[in-house]
Amino acid sequence: MDDAITATIGVFSGRPNPEISLTGEAAERLAHSAKRAIGQQSAPPPPAPRLGFYHGFIVRSPRKLAQRLGLPEEFRVYQGVLTEKVGREPKHWRDAADVERLQVAKAAVDRAEVVE
What mean pLDDT is predicted for residues 72-91? 93
Map residue 42 onto helix, strand or coil. strand
- Most distant pair of Cα atoms in the chain: their distance: 44
What are the strands, taking DSSP E only, across the chain? 5-11, 19-22, 54-60, 74-78, 81-86, 89-94
Which of the 8 DSSP states describes residue 24? Answer: H
Predicted TM-score (pTM) of the model is 0.83
Report the Cα–Cα distance between both ends of the chain, in Å, rounded: 26
Sheet holding 74-78, edge to edge: 19-22, 5-11, 54-60, 74-78, 81-86, 89-94
According to the model, what pLDDT value does residue 116 have? 43
**Count of beta carbons in the 10 Å neighbourhood of residue 50:** 9
Lowest mean pLDDT among 16-20, 61-65, 83-87: 16-20
Selected residue with higher pLDDT from 24 and 110: 24
Position 114 scores a pLDDT of: 44
